[in-house]
Structure 1
């Protein structure tokens, strides 16, 4: 009986020892693995989630930053707080920022990953109080303000901002981010907050020699909350800080507004397939080095060549979401087009192909100008004309 007990004790001790060795091995291995390099083995771009939040735990601004380190090119996608869906994590239809407030960052990230169809391995949260300090560390944020502001907002805050490119200190950045004018639309508030995010990324680049000095980084690092440790955060921010700011812009989810349980929610077009397609197109452009097309906003005329009412108007929303400018929507000369056509007025085959890839159209007609018509002036100002055929109907809904 004693021998048996001793054997059991020996086996038990060996098992404990094996567990200890295994855990130690995992810890050592995890310390050696660079999560950024591991991520790049799976995906050539680095996806990170940036959240500006208040001290009460509310996400005030959320952006997915897609960065291609080989060229320094990047794109950002703003996730509007009132983006609506049936969120399984909440068990109800609600705003997506409610997920962050009630369930925390991890679940919030998972819901955004479902929305955009991409994994996001890295997260960065910045409190507005810390943003204020960071802006001062950077020597201010340079923000373009289109019109002067001199008014008292809905919370009684007096706001004074001149127009033009203005260098704002930390307190002014905070005020610019937070103020809400009675005359503001929801998009005005979003635009201001995105201007702050863009300026923050620009300032990170302009101050990289200071920020990433080994003796200085600790002061900056404590203002960021991330899901990676200090060393890897340093590497991540250092990589992002070389972003090509001349070709960096933000796109915002678009959709239809509906009131649900007293809340005005934005439901992305085509059951969310559009935002996935937009991001896929952006990533493809980053990786392919299609910088010429990224650096220009192309102008479209969209014509409805079918009997479906409102098809050109709805398509214009999609194209604007993808970063195109829509000059005009109208009915085509006839309504029996079987296949969608793209008419290339500028001779740019690469841009035409990129447009065709986005709307799944290979029927591209090269033509410098449209035939003379009463509307030839608008056609001449457009880079491309899209004539929608019956094959276009439901294309994004099906996710083709």
Structure 2
């Protein structure tokens, strides 16, 4: 007679088969998990990652990191948190960081997309305490300080020496957040660029599969991101290929105005210049020919040939946003120029045409002088037909 208490071997076998199949399915699922970042790399798509450093739930640095996996070129665009915009959900003009939510940055990211004209692919939110740990894990970041920084009062005690220094986590945060009276927005943004660039360079130098594994284990739980661990590994891996010495730095050009008792920073031309700059930057990062032709780095002299004060200075900002070097800004020999003229002093008509295209100027003349000022390649003389952005 069969013992009813003995296990049913067929049932046990079925359970064992089920467990094996479940384990196999889980293994396949984990190994076949889609790596979104790697997918974009393989598709040779320009990748846009927003890096946000926040302190007590408020963003203090917002940098857009653009990277093209085919050309290996990158760019950083800084977005000031005090940038003013029409916040539709609030039905008022306000700072864009009023939309920031540490737990759900989607509204903030959407506003940045409206400003730049490009939807972000990925984002990384890093709290200041995590930044300190990250810098210390990387054994510091190298920063060049042209002048020493000494701030001592009841609340602050900051000492940063001049020269090339390797900052630990606490010093890196001091470098990022110190405030001194009279510092320009441009100088503050330069510091933010330098710190983010320092982090990218360190990862560029240190990355290895072993580094990545320990890095992700240590840092990943401390950051908020839409990159999973596998995609973050691909992000770090691609950092090795980035040409760190040729990263382009860009910032939002605009003016500060007081609105409802607070100072807001408004992009020039209602943001149109910023969107044009981003589009031009996209095209440049994607174009092998442009990136390999060092002759495209040309210097400009901008002359005001009208009676409008500050026209040349404002125009210099426009060209600077496109990456041009500004050798000088001055008044022309007359304030009665009717037409805007571009003078090619170097004998490079292609470069002169690119400059002309940015302001829709039709008058280009080659005027090569063997004894010319070597610091100036192209002279732009602004006439009455120039409205501040385009030649009419």
TM-score normalized by the length of structure 1? 0.80
1:231 — aligned with what? 230
Q: CA RMSD in A?
A: 3.1
Distance 2:92 2:224 in 1: 29
SS in 1 for 2:208: helix
Shift of 1:241: 3.9
Q: Which protein is bigger by CA-based radius of gyration?
A: 2
Structure 1 residues 236 and 317, CA, compared in 2 at 3 Å: closer, same or farther?
Answer: same
Shift of 1:128: 1.1
Please tell me whether the aligned partners of residues 307 and 335 of structure 2 are also in contact (alpha carbons under 8 angstroms): no
Shift of 1:347: 3.0
2:359 — aligned with what? 359
In the alignment of these two chains, the number of paired residues is: 361
SS in 2 for 1:107: helix
TM-score normalized by the length of structure 2? 0.81
Distance 1:145 1:215 in 2: 31
Alignment map for 1:121-160 (pairs within 5 Å): 121-152=121-152, 156-160=155-159
1:161 — aligned with what? 160
Structure 1 residues 102 and 165, CA, compared in 2 at 3 Å: closer, same or farther?
Answer: closer
SS in 1 for 2:213: coil
Instruction: Verify: 1:383 aligned to 2:382, yes or no.
Output: no
Alignment map for 1:2-81 (pairs within 5 Å): 32-36=33-37, 39=40, 44-54=45-55, 56-81=56-81
SS in 1 for 2:80: coil
Deviations, residues 81-105 of structure 1 (Å, cap 9, x unaligned): 1111111133211111222149941
Alignment map for 1:74-113 (pairs within 5 Å): 74-101=74-101, 104-113=104-113
Alignment map for 1:249-260 (pairs within 5 Å): 249-260=248-259
289-298 or 57-66, which moves further after superposition?
289-298
Deviations, residues 51-101 of structure 1 (Å, cap 9, x unaligned): 0111x2100000111111112111111001111111113321111122214
Structure 1 residues 194 and 295, CA, compared in 2 at 3 Å: closer, same or farther?
Answer: farther
Instruction: Verify: 1:313 aligned to 2:313, yes or no.
Output: yes
SS in 1 for 2:90: coil
Alignment map for 1:203-282 (pairs within 5 Å): 203-209=202-208, 212-282=211-281
Structure 1 residues 345 and 94, CA, compared in 2 at 3 Å: closer, same or farther?
Answer: same
Distance 2:240 2:93 in 1: 38
SS in 2 for 1:120: coil
Distance 2:250 2:77 in 1: 5
Shift of 1:42: 8.1
Shift of 1:140: 0.6
Structure 1 residues 171 and 322, CA, compared in 2 at 3 Å: closer, same or farther?
Answer: same
Structure 1 residues 249 and 215, CA, compared in 2 at 3 Å: closer, same or farther?
Answer: same
SS in 1 for 2:71: coil
Please tell me whether the aligned partners of residues 211 and 220 of structure 1 are also in contact (alpha carbons under 8 angstroms): no
Shift of 1:203: 1.1
Structure 1 residues 219 and 193, CA, compared in 2 at 3 Å: closer, same or farther?
Answer: same
Shift of 1:391: 5.0
Q: Which runs of 5+ in 1 are unaligned?
A: 1-27, 371-375
